[in-house]
Amino acid sequence: MKLTLSLNGHSTELVAAPGARLLDVLRDAGCTSVKRGCETGDCGACCVLLDGEPVNSCVVPAAFAADAIVTTLEGLNDDPLMRRLQDCFLEAGAVQCGYCTPGLLLVAWQRLREGGELTEYDVRHAMSGNLCRCTGYAKPVRAVLDAWEAMP
């Protein structure tokens, strides 16, 4: 089946086999930031934004993305907020193996875009769907708070 969607800000037509997952279609389209992890929706390595909301693409049928807006980390390469967030992750030492990093960055970016006050609890809640075995979350949480504090 052919899917027409907005992928990272560009109108795109993708081909998906019946029953294909959004994860597979995005990987086939070259979105390598979308990682194959647990394939059960538990780890967040495959996190993307679907119409602005974080979803685990390994459990979303590709057909659900028809006429939707899908954003992966690749689509935010030039976004100033994402750049600041990435810089804060590097400065805080929040990147270790890097497998979970794209998903953590996406949920953090989405939460920062919501605006308003931000506490450690808020950051941990936003990241609760993303497993990280390396960092213990303290450094990624610190990085997000640092990025928030640097916002105008």
Residue ranges per structural domain of the chain: 2-75, 78-149
Assign domain 78-149 to its CATH superfamily.
Answer: [2Fe-2S]-binding domain (1.10.150.120)
Per-residue pLDDT band at 124 (split at 50, 70, 90): very high
Checking if the pLDDT of 136 tops 90, the result is no
Record the pTM.
0.94
Domain 2-75, CATH among 3.10.20.30, 3.40.50.970, 3.40.80.10, 3.40.50.300: 3.10.20.30
Joined together, the tokens standing for residue 20 give 């294909």
Query: Rounded mean pLDDT of 120-147?
Result: 95
Share above pLDDT 70 across residues of the chain, in percent, rounded to a whole number:
100
Ramachandran sector of residue 4 (left: φ over 0; alpha: ψ -120 to 50; beta: rest): beta
Is 78-149 the same fold as 2-75?
no
Mean pLDDT of 57-62: 98
